Amino acid sequence: MNSTGGRAFEFTSEPVASPENSKLKIILEQLEQTTKENDQKKLIKELAEIHKEAINSPGECEARNVILYLFTKFSNKKALKKYLQTIVAKLEIGDLLMKNAGKDLFSMLKQKKCNIPSWLNLCNFVYVMENSANFNYDDTIKRLSSSYLVIFEQFALQLGAKAFDDIEQISTLLNNITKQMLSLFAKNVVYREDVNVRLVLCSYKILEYDNIGFDLKAKVGLIFTHSLEAMPEAYKTHFIHKDCPAIEFSKEFNDKPYVSVTEGNLPVLRDEESIVALYASILSVIPQNKLVNLKVKNKSLMYLLYIGLMNCAKRKTSVSHIIVEISRTLSIMAKQLTSIPKTLIKPFFLEGISFVWSHIDHFVDTVRNYAKSFFIELINVAAYHRTNGYIELTGILTEKIKLLSPKHSLRFLALEHIATHISADYLLKHFEFLQKNLINLLLDPVISEQASKTYICIMEKHFAESDKETWILAWVKPICNLLKNNKGCTNVCQKIITAAFQLYPSVLRIIFPEDYLGNSQECEVLLKCLRYARLNGLESNIDTCENMHNYWRGLIDNEKMTSFMVHQDDEIRISALASIVENQKTTALFLTWELDFLRVFLRYNITSQKPNTRKEIISLYKKALARFSAGRNVIDKDIEKWKKRQLKEGPTILSRIFDDIKVAYDSFITSFTKQLIRNLTFDSNFPRRNTSLELLLVLKDMIAKDDWLSYWTEDNVKNCHLILFDGYEVNKKMAVALLKTLPPSYIGFKDVDFTFRYMQRCMTITQSLKPSKTLSAAYLLEMCTYSPYFREIVELKDEASGELVMDPLPDFDMIILLISKLMAQRKGGENEVTETKVAFYGILLSIRHLLQKRDLSESNEAYAGLFNHLTTMCLDLKDTIMPVVCNPSPEGYIPDNDEVVNDGDIASKAQAILVYAWRTMKEMTLLLAEIVEQTVKLEAKHQLLDEDSLTKIGEFFISVFIESKHRGVYEQAYVGFCTICRSFWKSTKPKLNTLPKIWLEQAMSLCTGENKNENLCSTRRSAGLPFLITSLLSSEPVLNNKRFHDCMSVLLETCKNTEDTDDRFRTICMNILSAIFRQSALGEMVAPYVGYAVVIAISGFDSPVWGIRNSATLLYSCLMTRMFGVQRTQDSENLCMKNRMTVRVFFLRYPELFNFLLDTLAEESRKSYSLMLHPVLMILARLYPSQFEEHNDKVEMYLPHLMTCLSNPVYKTRELAARASVSLISRDQISSHLDKLFSRFKESSIKDNECHGLLLQVVPYIDCFLK
* Residue 835 pLDDT greater than 70, yes or no: no
Query: Over the stretch 31-40, which tens digit does the pLDDT of each residue have?
Result: 877 778 888 8
Burial 918-934 (b: 16+ CB within 10 A, else e): bbbbbbbbbbbbbbbbb
Most confident by average pLDDT, 805-819, 963-977, 1064-1078: 1064-1078
Q: Which helix (H) or strand (E) holds 606?
A: none
Most confident by average pLDDT, 8-17, 484-493, 1206-1215: 1206-1215
Phi-psi domain of 194 (left: phi exceeds 0; alpha: psi -120 through 50; beta: other): alpha
Q: Where does residue 1235 rank: exposed (0-12), middle (13-18), buried (19+ CB within 10 A)?
A: exposed
Lowest mean pLDDT among 184-198, 703-717, 1053-1067: 184-198
* Residue 193 pLDDT greater than 90, yes or no: no
Rounded CA separation 292/337 (Å): 10
- At 538, is the pLDDT very low, low, confident or very high (cuts 50, 70, 90)? low
Q: Regarding predicted confidence, which is higher, 1168 or 194?
A: 1168
DSSP 339: G
Query: Over the stretch 1097-1145, which tens digit does the pLDDT of each residue have?
Result: 999 998 888 888 999 999 999 999 888 888 777 666 667 767 788 887 8
Pairing of β 10-12 and β 113-115:
parallel
Whole-angstrom CA distances from 77 to 32, 843, 985 are: 14, 44, 21
* Residue 540 pLDDT greater than 60, yes or no: no
* Residue 1088 pLDDT greater than 50, yes or no: yes
Helix (H, G, I), strand (E, B) or coil at 567: coil
Lowest mean pLDDT among 400-404, 829-833, 884-888, 902-906: 829-833
Rounded to 5°, the CA angle 353-359-365 comes to 135
- At 798, is the pLDDT very low, low, confident or very high (cuts 50, 70, 90)? very low
- At 901, is the pLDDT very low, low, confident or very high (cuts 50, 70, 90)? very low
Report the pLDDT averaged over residues 1025-1043.
84
Please name which of 844, 811, 836 lies closest in space to residue 920, comparing C-alpha atoms: 844
What is the per-residue pLDDT for 1160? 92
Question: How many Cα atoms sit within 13 Å of 185 on the Cβ side?
Answer: 25
Query: Over the stretch 762-796, which tens digit does the pLDDT of each residue have?
Result: 988 888 878 888 899 999 999 998 888 887 887 64
Rounded CA separation 450/413 (Å): 9
Q: Which helix (H) or strand (E) holds 1174?
A: helix 1173-1181
Report the pLDDT averaged over residues 317-332.
85
Report the pLDDT averaged over residues 488-500.
80
Helix, strand, coil percent content, the chain, rounded in steps of 5: 70, 5, 30
User: Sign of torsion, CA 374 376 379 381?
Assistant: negative
Q: In this structure, which long-range contacts are made by residues 932-935, counting pairs with CB atoms below 8 Å and at least 24 apart in sequence? A: 932/979, 932/980, 932/983, 932/984, 933/979, 933/980, 933/982, 933/983, 934/851, 934/856, 934/863, 934/867, 935/867, 935/983
Rg (alpha carbons) of the chain, rounded to whole number: 38
DSSP 268: P
* Residue 799 pLDDT greater than 50, yes or no: no
1000: Cβ–Cβ under 8 A, 6 or more apart, which residues?
1029, 1032, 1033, 1043, 1047
Rounded to 5°, the CA angle 283-284-290 comes to 55
Lowest mean pLDDT among 410-419, 526-535, 588-597, 842-851: 526-535
Q: Where does residue 497 rank: exposed (0-12), middle (13-18), buried (19+ CB within 10 A)?
A: buried
Is 493 in contact with 462 (CB distance < 8 Å)? Answer: no
Query: Over the stretch 443-456, which tens digit does the pLDDT of each residue have?
Result: 887 788 889 999 99
**Mean pLDDT, rounded, of the chain:** 82
Tell me phi and psi for residue 556, to 5 degrees: -150, 150
* Residue 958 pLDDT greater than 60, yes or no: yes
Rounded CA separation 660/663 (Å): 5
* Residue 67 pLDDT greater than 60, yes or no: yes
**CA dihedral defined by 699, 702, 705, 709, rounded to 10 degrees?**
-20
Q: Which helix (H) or strand (E) holds 849?
A: helix 841-852
Q: Which residues share a beta bridge with 114? A: 11
Please name which of 1052, 1039, 1021, 881 lies closest in space to residue 960, comparing C-alpha atoms: 881
Helix (H, G, I), strand (E, B) or coil at 1036: coil
Is 497 in contact with 529 (CB distance < 8 Å)? Answer: yes
* Residue 1 pLDDT greater than 50, yes or no: no
Rounded CA separation 845/92 (Å): 57
**According to DSSP H, which parts of 987-1040 are helical?**
990-1008, 1025-1034
Tell me phi and psi for residue 260, to 5 degrees: -85, 120
Pairing of β 551-552 and β 264-267:
unpaired
Helix (H, G, I), strand (E, B) or coil at 1018: coil
Report the pLDDT averaged over residues 671-678.
94
Query: Over the stretch 457-483, which tens digit does the pLDDT of each residue have?
Result: 999 999 999 888 899 888 988 888 888
Lowest mean pLDDT among 9-18, 283-292, 1187-1196: 1187-1196
Rounded CA separation 527/494 (Å): 9
Please name which of 888, 880, 928 lies closest in space to residue 1016, comparing C-alpha atoms: 888
297: Cβ–Cβ under 8 A, 6 or more apart, which residues?
253, 304
Count of all residues that appear for the chain in the document: 1267
Whole-angstrom CA distances from 435 to 209, 442, 761 are: 56, 11, 72
- At 549, is the pLDDT very low, low, confident or very high (cuts 50, 70, 90)? low
Q: Regarding predicted confidence, which is higher, 1255 or 617?
A: 617
Most confident by average pLDDT, 51-60, 396-405, 494-503, 616-625: 616-625
* Residue 1231 pLDDT greater than 80, yes or no: no
Please name which of 1260, 1127, 1129, 1121 lies closest in space to residue 1202, comparing C-alpha atoms: 1260
Query: Over the stretch 870-893, which tens digit does the pLDDT of each residue have?
Result: 888 888 887 778 877 777 666 666
Helix (H, G, I), strand (E, B) or coil at 728: coil
* Residue 189 pLDDT greater than 70, yes or no: no
DSSP 961: H
Report the pLDDT averaged over residues 484-507.
80
What is the per-residue pLDDT for 897? 54
Rounded to 5°, the CA angle 1123-1129-1135 comes to 60
Q: Regarding predicted confidence, which is higher, 949 or 1247?
A: 949
Report the pLDDT averaged over residues 1188-1209.
77
**According to DSSP H, which parts of 388-442 are helical?**
392-402, 409-421, 424-430, 434-442
Report the pLDDT averaged over residues 258-271.
78
Q: How many helices and strands (H and E) does the chain possess?
A: 58, 10
What is the per-residue pLDDT for 734? 94
DSSP 162: B
Please name which of 589, 598, 596, 602 lies closest in space to residue 662, comparing C-alpha atoms: 589
Is 1202 in contact with 1224 (CB distance < 8 Å)? Answer: yes
Is 220 in contact with 277 (CB distance < 8 Å)? Answer: yes
Report the pLDDT averaged over residues 1036-1049.
82
Rounded CA separation 442/449 (Å): 8
Q: Which helix (H) or strand (E) holds 825?
A: helix 811-827
Helix (H, G, I), strand (E, B) or coil at 191: coil
Percentage with pLDDT > 90 across the chain: 19
Query: Over the stretch 729-754, which tens digit does the pLDDT of each residue have?
Result: 899 999 999 999 999 999 988 888 89
